[in-house]
Amino acid sequence: MITSALEFLRGQEVNNNNFLLFGDEPKLIFYIKKRINSIHANYERVVISIEEKNFDEQLQTAILSNSLFSEVKIIEFTSNKNRLSRLLVERIQTISSLKTQNILIIELPQISQKLIANELSSSLSDTLCTINCTPPAAHQIKEYIALLMSENLISKDNLESIVEMYEGNFSLLMNDIEVAKQASLEEKDISSVFFSKAIKNNFRLFEEMQKGNFSAAINIVDSMKENDKGSGALLLWMLARDCRAIIELKTGKNSLRQLKIWSNQENFYKEYANKISEIHLNEIILLLDKFDKSIKGVLNYDSWQVAKDLVIQFCRASKKITT
């Protein structure tokens, strides 16, 4: 039986020791593992690749050896394969049939639900809890927001707007919700961060910078400052992520999924990475450090002016400045 991630997170108790997570939504995998880990205050984490040649030896060592300082082991079995080979199926079957007090988590982010249902489910132990971690549909995103945020902070009337604003980018939305929760924001602050029409455009900031649209990019920064002066940390996170994406592409990596940048956005980053020089990239990195230290008060600069300087540098590096 396959359980949805939402259903699992809503559950009051976790009664299983063996889990299989499939689907490529990293934030859901994170939340599921966090929920499992929370059951045990003291545990040792072990990670084993299912594809390793010495898999059997690593498995036996992890299962049979005792931990000196932890009451239980949480053993994570990982695979990035997008198909189920005979060997992979056999090893997953072996893991699912183990009788142990340890927690076993199998992660198959590249395997589809169809493959799980057709080629794997029938051969697995009944004690294995299989959880679907594929990206949620729009109506499910609303349920996640309601689950993670208290009702007095995000009303039902706002759910439609926030789902539309983030254009299905679940991980980015969840990251921003976590930032809001950690900052202990009040209702009026939540509204200004997530629901202001002016601030909605901040998610188009890199697109404008990539095109060299100087005025449009600065207007986005101004709207963030006007609607929430505390959103500088969010802007820093956005620009730092953009910079990391450029670095990743320039060093030969083709996917930006780990940075929560999806395929429909990647072309903007790839085009920009092909244009920007190492000199301009280093200048942006230095300004990011200055922006960070200005926000923290380490440097005595106007952090919003530094942010504008940083955005201007991003635009200049695109070599297509328009005003």
Question: Which residue, of 146, 161, 195, is where some domain finishes?
Answer: 195
More confident residue, 5 or 185: 5
The whole-chain average pLDDT of the chain stands at: 83
Q: What is the pLDDT of residue 323?
A: 41
Number of folded domains that form the chain: 3
Q: What is the pLDDT of residue 122?
A: 81
Kindly state whether residues 280 and 158 are assigned to the same domain: no
Total-model pTM:
0.61
Residue 14 to residue 120: CA distance in whole angstroms: 23
Q: Are the C-beta atoms of 293 and 287 separated by less than 8 Å? A: no
Q: Are the C-beta atoms of 71 and 42 separated by less than 8 Å? A: yes
pLDDT at 199 > cutoff 50: no
Question: Which residue, of 94, 113, 132, is where some domain finishes?
Answer: 132
Distances (CA, A) of 109 to 60, 88, 213, 256, 273: 24, 14, 37, 15, 27
Kindly state whether residues 178 and 213 are assigned to the same domain: no
Kindly state whether residues 190 and 225 are assigned to the same domain: no
Q: What is the pLDDT of residue 157?
A: 63
Name which of 50, 40, 44, 60 is nearest 20 in CA terms. 50
Kindly state whether residues 141 and 128 are assigned to the same domain: no
* CATH code for the domain in which residue 287 is found: 1.20.272.10
Kindly state whether residues 56 and 155 are assigned to the same domain: no
Binned at pLDDT 50, 70 and 90, residue 177 comes out as confident
pLDDT at 102 > cutoff 70: yes
Kindly state whether residues 160 and 218 are assigned to the same domain: no
Question: Which residue, of 132, 147, 180, is where some domain finishes?
Answer: 132
* CATH code for the domain in which residue 117 is found: 3.40.50.300
| CA R_g for the chain | 23
Kindly state whether residues 210 and 319 are assigned to the same domain: yes
Range of the domain at 209: 197-323
Q: What is the pLDDT of residue 99?
A: 87
Binned at pLDDT 50, 70 and 90, residue 163 comes out as confident
Quick one: 37 exposed, middle or buried, by C-beta within 10 A (0-12, 13-18, 19+)?
Answer: middle
Name which of 182, 139, 179 is nearest 163 in CA terms. 139
Kindly state whether residues 160 and 186 are assigned to the same domain: yes
More confident residue, 322 or 108: 108
Residue 76 to residue 78: CA distance in whole angstroms: 6
Q: Which of the 8 DSSP states describes residue 117?
A: I
Kindly state whether residues 55 and 96 are assigned to the same domain: yes
Kindly state whether residues 237 and 183 are assigned to the same domain: no
Kindly state whether residues 84 and 181 are assigned to the same domain: no
Question: Which segments of 38-155 does DSSP mark as H helices, in order?
Answer: 55-64, 86-96, 113-115, 138-148
Kindly state whether residues 93 and 46 are assigned to the same domain: yes
Mean pLDDT of 245-265: 78
62-76, 186-200, 229-243: which range is least confident on average? 186-200
